[in-house]
């Protein structure tokens, strides 16, 4: 009523009071201010009482509307002890921002939650596979593997490796699906910058008309940025593969993944490949 009358100061006082103790009213007030003031965060935050629960709610509100930077900014007004009181909110924000492809902010939330504590921008997480590969639902910025195929398997190998003590082994047992999106990882990058992705590859008894290769994809719109050469047939000792690409201006995260070259609807692949020592470097 006050807003419709143009009595802004009186409206502020009452609406701010409504955000203090009632979660339902709080969200309604934030929504009202968001629309009334043309999505101006400064105006919305004038309604927010300076309390941890209100700031946590405001961080969630922004995340739901794709205002990722404002979400993280409000969340970081809380102390570590206060953040720990709202694990469900922070987990929902981390996943929501990742799903909406706001990768830098999603990474920050994931690190704070301990979901991906070792993930860093412009860095391959666990690039040497010295640590276990967790389940896909337990990471957003670590290795994610295809585990529901009986004719394809991914596992850590402590007997065969290039550097360190381990590598990762991908085994094909007559896998014949035309599409393969395996062993992927999302990495935060800076738009407009150029990069070189390097990794070491070994093959054993690998054969198919549609060989595997590594693909780099713009995580923001799924457009292909670069691909490695197809992997060699047969048995081959360790060799380094380089893939260069530039992140477009609309790209804040890339996805690297193993795919296979097209060879028709029923084209089996058999054999084994090993990966080790992934590294991403900026070249400009």
Q: For residue 223, what are its two tokens?
A: 């457009």
CA distance 29 to 38: 14
Low-confidence ranges of the chain (pLDDT < 70): none
Q: Are 113 and 87 in contact (CB under 8 A)?
A: yes
Per-residue pLDDT, 76: 96
Residue 45 Cα distances to 8, 22, 27, 70, 243, angstroms = 14, 16, 12, 10, 45
101-133 pLDDT per residue, tens: 999 999 999 999 888 999 999 999 999 999 999
- Which strands sit side by side in the sheet containing 224-227, from one edge to the other? 182-188, 253-260, 212-218, 224-227
Give the CA diameter of the chain. 79
C-alpha radius of gyration, the chain, whole number: 24
Per-residue pLDDT, 49: 80
Per-residue pLDDT, 70: 96
Per-residue pLDDT, 193: 98
Torsion of CA 58, 67, 75, 121, to 10 degrees: 170
Per-residue pLDDT, 65: 94
Per-residue pLDDT, 259: 93
Q: For residue 40, what are its two tokens?
A: 């101006």
CA distance 189 to 199: 18
Per-residue pLDDT, 135: 85
Per-residue pLDDT, 270: 96
Per-residue pLDDT, 38: 93
Per-residue pLDDT, 47: 83
Per-residue pLDDT, 178: 80
Q: Backbone phi, then psi, for 188, in 5-degree steps?
A: -70, 130
CA distance 17 to 284: 51
């Amino acid at each position: 009523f006050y807003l419709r009358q143009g009595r802004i100061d009186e409206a502020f006082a009452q609406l701010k009071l409504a955000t203090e103790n009632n979660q339902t009213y709080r969200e309604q007030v934030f929504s009202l201010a968001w629309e009334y003031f043309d999505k101006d965060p400064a105006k919305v935050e004038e309604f927010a009482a300076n309390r941890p629960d209100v700031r946590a709610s405001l961080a969630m509100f922004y995340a739901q509307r794709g205002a990722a930077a404002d979400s993280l900014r409000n969340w970081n007004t809380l102390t570590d002890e206060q953040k720990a009181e709202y694990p469900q909110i922070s987990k929902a924000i981390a996943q929501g921002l990742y799903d909406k492809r706001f990768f830098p902010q999603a990474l920050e939330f994931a690190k704070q939650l301990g979901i991906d504590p070792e993930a860093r921008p412009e860095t391959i997480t666990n690039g040497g596979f010295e640590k276990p590969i967790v389940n896909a639902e337990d990471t957003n910025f670590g290795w994610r593997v295809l585990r529901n195929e009986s004719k394809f398997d991914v596992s850590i190998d402590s007997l065969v490796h290039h550097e360190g003590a381990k590598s990762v082994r991908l085994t094909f047992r007559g896998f014949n699906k035309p599409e393969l999106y395996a062993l992927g990882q999302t990495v935060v990058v800076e738009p407009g910058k150029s990069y070189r992705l390097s990794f070491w590859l070994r093959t054993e008894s690998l054969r198919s008309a549609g060989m595997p290769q590594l693909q780099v994809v713009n995580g923001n719109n799924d457009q292909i940025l670069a691909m490695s050469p197809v992997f060699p047939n047969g048995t081959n000792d360790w060799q380094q593969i380089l893939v260069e690409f530039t992140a477009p201006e609309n790209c804040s995260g890339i996805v690297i993944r193993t795919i296979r070259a097209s060879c028709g609807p029923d084209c089996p692949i058999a054999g084994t490949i090993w990966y080790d020592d992934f590294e991403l470097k900026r070249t400009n």
